[in-house]
Amino acid sequence: MNHDTRSSTRSASAVGRSPLLRVFERWNAKGAREVDGTPVFKTSRLIVRGWRDDDVESWVQMNADPKVMKFLLRRYTRELSESIVRAIRETLERVGYGWWVVEVRGGLSFAGVICLQDVPFSAPFTPAREIGWRFAFEAWGRGYATEAASAALGFAFDQLNWNEVVAFTSVANVRSQRVMQRLGMRHDPRDDFDHPRLEEGHPLRRHLLYRIQKP
């Protein structure tokens, strides 16, 4: 989903080195690794990793693309993008989950981002933990979102020991809904909701909620 980046206050308020990173260290023996305190995991085509300084400009440019931002809740200026990346980068390094960069092996060094976080607003289905994604336009149509999200769900269930993950997007965002369906997430119309950060009458206010449980 083209996801808003206002991170959960619960994640941001964590202090010190998270026990989740110690959990991840045990996963290292299975072939994954940790770089600068950040979990890194790989798929056949992708590397899901922490942030580097040279990712920031790619992030800014992605957020300036109206195709990418069509279903986002707000307009991203350069200043806003730079401010957000500082916060999400610090949270990922300190807490051990959040917003990762997705890199294509032998290809795009910055294809987009994938996130695992506490839902950062109140709604009928919260508290809950969510998965989200945003990819540069040149990375669309190649299955990267599904591949990276599938790996992130595995990390959420196997390493973070989460029992359920949700995803949501506006009714009009069919592309993201298809990713959720390919991930095996389930939609119940009774869970659909009006996004509390959008005013009544806004064309993106109505959202669909998808869920997936730990196997």
What is the Cα gyration radius of the chain? 16
Q: Residue-wise pLDDT tens for the chain (215 aa)?
A: 656 655 443 333 333 444 444 433 333 333 355 666 689 999 999 999 999 999 999 999 999 999 999 998 788 999 999 999 999 999 998 999 999 999 999 999 999 999 999 999 999 999 999 999 999 999 999 999 999 999 999 999 999 999 999 999 999 999 999 999 999 999 999 999 999 999 999 999 999 999 999 99
* For the chain, domain boundaries: 9-213
Q: Does domain 9-213 have CATH number 3.40.50.300?
A: no
* pTM assigned to the model: 0.85
